[in-house]
């Protein structure tokens, strides 16, 4: 795993896959001295899944660090699932509840393209990690 950010307080975004109906965004983050890393970004659709991988060794975040994805109303699209994240070496997947999906994709998303804020707190001084965000433009539940 590459943790590509060397400057504290920076979140670097990459579009890894863009299939049109869905997109995979990857954010490399490094916290500031106060344990915070924040970044604004835009996404259209529903946040289907967030996978977090924390650096190990000297760059390992403190245990019970916090992750939020705030929409333009200031609501956490993760619905609180990102509270008290583990700092273990194993990837952790968060599946936001449908009641707290990022946006009203039928109206607001395509019209206003509202800004989101990725917020990491309580991570410790200059710690690193990687987040993968799976964003689905239109999700049709496969009949379950």
* 8 A C-beta contact, residue 56 and residue 98: no
Kindly state the number of chain residues that form the binding site for other proteins, as judged by CB under 8 A.
47
- Binding-site member from 7, 15, 58, 107 for other proteins (CB under 8 A): 15
* 8 A C-beta contact, residue 119 and residue 68: yes
- Binding-site member from 30, 31, 35, 43 for other proteins (CB under 8 A): 43
Sites for other proteins among residues 65-104 (CB under 8 A) = 91, 93, 95-99
* 8 A C-beta contact, residue 125 and residue 58: no
- Binding-site member from 22, 36, 83, 117 for other proteins (CB under 8 A): 22
Among the listed ranges 30-38, 55-63, 67-75, 109-117, the one in contact with other proteins (CB under 8 A) is 109-117
* 8 A C-beta contact, residue 123 and residue 62: yes
The span from the CA of 37 to the CA of 110, in Å, is: 28
Taking the CA atoms of residue 38, residue 77, residue 48 and residue 135 in that order, the dihedral angle to the nearest 10 degrees is -50
Binding site for other proteins (CB under 8 A): 1, 13, 15-26, 39-45, 48-49, 51, 53, 91, 93, 95-99, 110, 113, 115, 130, 132, 134, 136-144
């Amino acid at each position: 795993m590459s943790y590509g950010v060397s400057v504290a307080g920076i979140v670097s975004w990459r579009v890894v896959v863009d299939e049109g109906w869905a997109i995979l965004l990857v954010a490399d983050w490094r916290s500031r001295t106060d344990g915070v890393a924040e970044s604004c970004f835009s996404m259209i659709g529903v946040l289907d899944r967030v996978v977090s991988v924390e650096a190990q060794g000297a760059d390992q975040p403190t245990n019970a660090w916090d992750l939020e994805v705030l929409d333009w109303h200031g609501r956490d699209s993760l619905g609180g699932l990102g509270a008290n994240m583990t700092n273990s070496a194993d990837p952790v997947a968060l599946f936001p509840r449908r009641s707290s999906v990022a946006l009203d994709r039928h109206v607001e998303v395509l019209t206003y393209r509202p800004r989101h804020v990725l917020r990491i707190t309580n991570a410790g001084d200059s710690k690193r990690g990687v987040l993968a965000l799976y964003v689905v433009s239109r999700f049709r539940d496969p009949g379950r």
